A and B are shown apart, each in its own frame.
Chain A
Amino acid sequence: MSEVLLEARNIGKRFGGVQALKDVSLTIRPREIYGLIGPNGAGKTTLFNVFTGLYPRDGGEVLLNGKPLSLESPHTVAAAGIARTFQNIRLFNNMTAIENVMVGRHVRTKAGVFGAILHTRAERAEEAAIRRRAEELLHYVGIADRAHSLARHLSYGDQRRLEIARALATDPILLALDEPAAGMNATETVALRALIEGLRNDGLTVLLIEHDVKLVMGLCDRVAVLEYGQKIAEDVPEVVRANPKVIEAYLGTSAH
């Protein structure tokens, strides 16, 4: 196995006349928590959307475990092993929590229409396995007691957890979280941090976009900084923190 899990090479993306991403390259190593930070509008979410197949890219390529990743469509990306959450939580609001997670198992299961109609033995077994796995995951993220509540009835923090459980249901090797701490209070943030660390300890690689620089610096093994669609730094938090370009980008003070 290579020491690189995901490698992005020269990713480019423009919207009309705006160059949202310019030749962004980064490498994520297995079992690390990799943070992506940058001022508002730096292109973090855009990069995320390109990685997960939501936006077509204009240039560059992404390798997962050394193999080129097809970014054609979000579901192929999910099948390849990258799962994501959204900055503004996107759940299936009128489905129960457990159903939300069960949807995540879709890509790893295969029962079709005929299996469902005939209620075959294989279909029932698969269905039971899906439900079991979903229950496990709800338990893992700590909301097992809300399994049969509608997603929209969950508290904000629980909705975040549910979204992570749904992403985990796709058996990802890389979990991409888009500003998971946004809108959370201090207690919720601490709990979230514990959850993310737990994920890493259980063998997962995490890509984290975050506004909360303190959280990122404390949590991440390595951090990349985007500004105006370009990567201006990528290193361990201590080094990034001391990087004058990063300080300038964040404080806006001219160091010249």
Chain B
Amino acid sequence: MMNPLKTLSRREKLGLLLIAGTLLVLPFMLATVGTAWVRITNFAVLFVLLSLGLNIVVGFAGLLDLGYIAFFAVGAYVYGLLASPHFGIHLPFWVILPIGAAVAGLAGAILGAPTLRLRGDYLAIVTLGFGEIVRIFMNNLSNPINLTNGPKGINRIDHFQIGNVNFAGTDTFFGLNFSGPIKYYYFLLVVLMAVIIINRRLKHSRIGRAWVAIREDEVAAKAAGINTRNIKLLAFSMGATFGGVAGGMFAAIQGFVSPESFILNESIMVLAMVVLGGMGNIWGVIAGAVLLSFMPEVLRYTVEPVQHALFGKMLIDPEVLRMLIFGFALVLTMRFRPAGLWPEALHRREMTENRT
């Protein structure tokens, strides 16, 4: 397992190359259809990041966190507050993103601490409550001192800026027009690669094994010498850190943040992505996240016209349909494919992962 590429067959290497090539030219292909699709792709990548973060908590460590979106919110608000006219502070993104990640990570540890002794189902409901508390605070911390600007949220958030290149406008490099969303796309792609590598390394590390051991049997993990309290806190904290980074980028890409972006349904959506893809399996989770982020958009462009054509009016709002799909994804996956649509190819791993 020293070099992951070494263990791949020729065909797999070819496949990887193909994927890499597609990912590199994707935004320009999408831009020909419409810039909206580049934006949609960017949000999909954000959700992949979120899913990979939640995957550490739910997939690796087996801790059902239903308030995960709160850490996304923390990252987004940290970015919004430190790069907008709200306080008149305009720090560069490479300063704020680490701050946001750290604050979210800390929040994860603080929120995680009181829940550590709890059994799985209690944990779920407490994290759900925490998520709500964070949202209530975002909504109300506009009085008496205006911290969050209440339900209106924070507007006119700064775009990323690297040197002279501002992510708001269009630049031309090598004769190609890089619009704002396209620049964000490449930035997100780099972050995504980093997050995937980090996830993989964590998974195959001493800490990652401890997480899975806790998920499999907490008592046995303790008896085998694992300080389950610390290791669980670490899972919360790591997951939250990823959420914080994603939140910061979300704030910059969207240009505004408000509490309504961070409702429970969003936590459920991320959970559905993790569960559908296959808890614990990095590639499965990515696939689940991509599928569930694009599906609603595809539906938006198909369900409406189809319904108008069939019934002459809208019967099912695509937004409702979206949530129904997430609900059914959770229920049906648990019932029929509890390991997810793309379960870990354990047998293949058993075969390929031989000696170091």
Contacts and interface: CB of A to CB of B under 8 A. Distances in A.
Partners in one complex: yes
Interface of A: 52-54, 73-75, 78-79, 83-84, 86, 90-96, 99, 102-109, 111-113, 115-117, 119, 123-124, 126-128, 130-131, 148-150, 166-167, 169-170
B226 interface: yes
Contacts of A102: 206, 209
Given A75-B226, A104-B224, A99 B209 contact: yes
A74 B217 contact: no
A117 B241 CA distance: 13
A117 B202 contact: yes
Nearest to A117: B198
Contacts of B356: 128, 131
A52 B223 contact: yes
Which of B220, B225, B356 is the most central at the interface, judged by chain A CB atoms within 10 Å of its CB?
B225
B210 A103 contact: yes
A107 B206 contact: no
B121 interface: no
Nearest to A89: B220
A143 to B, nearest CB: 14
Given A148-B353, A148-B354, A149-B350, A116 B205 contact: yes
Contacts, number: 114
Contacts of B226: 75, 103, 106-107
Nearest to A52: B223
A102 B207 CA distance: 11
21 contacts: A54-B223, A74-B223, A91-B220, A92-B221, A95-B209, A103-B210, A104-B224, A104-B225, A106-B206, A106-B209, A106-B225, A107-B225, A107-B226, A109-B206, A111-B206, A113-B202, A116-B206, A148-B354, A150-B350, A166-B224, A170-B224
Given A103-B226, A113-B207, A170-B225, A90 B350 contact: no
Contacts of B223: 52, 54, 74, 78, 83-84, 86, 90
For the complex of A and B, the 9 pairs showing the least CB-CB separation, nearest first, are: A107-B225, A78-B225, A116-B205, A92-B216, A90-B220, A74-B222, A148-B350, A103-B213, A75-B227
Which of B202, B227, B353 is the most central at the interface, judged by chain A CB atoms within 10 Å of its CB?
B227
B209 A86 contact: no
Interface string B223-263: 11111100000100010000000000000000000000000
What band does the interface of chain B fall in when counting residues whose beta carbon is under 8 Å from A?
20 to 34
B124 interface: no
Which of A74, A84, A169 is the most central at the interface, judged by chain B CB atoms within 10 Å of its CB?
A74
A90 B217 CA distance: 7
A119 B217 CA distance: 27
Given A106-B224, A150-B346, 6 more contacts: A54-B219, A54-B223, A91-B216, A113-B207, A115-B205, A116-B208
B224 to A, nearest CB: 5
Contact of B205 (A54, A95, A104, A123): A123
B201 interface: yes
B125 interface: no
B303 interface: no
A91 B351 CA distance: 21
Contacts of A54: 219, 222-223
A51 B238 CA distance: 34
B111 interface: no
B212 interface: yes
Contacts of B201: 116-117, 119
A6 B220 CA distance: 23
A91 B217 contact: yes
A196 to B, nearest CB: 19
Contact of A126 (B202, B206, B217, B238): B206
A83 B223 CA distance: 7
Nearest to A119: B201
A47 B16 CA distance: 56
A159 to B, nearest CB: 12
Contacts of B2: 124
Nearest to A92: B216
B61 to A, nearest CB: 13
A167 B207 CA distance: 18
Given A90-B219, A92-B213, A103 B207 contact: no
A150 B350 CA distance: 8
A170 B228 CA distance: 16
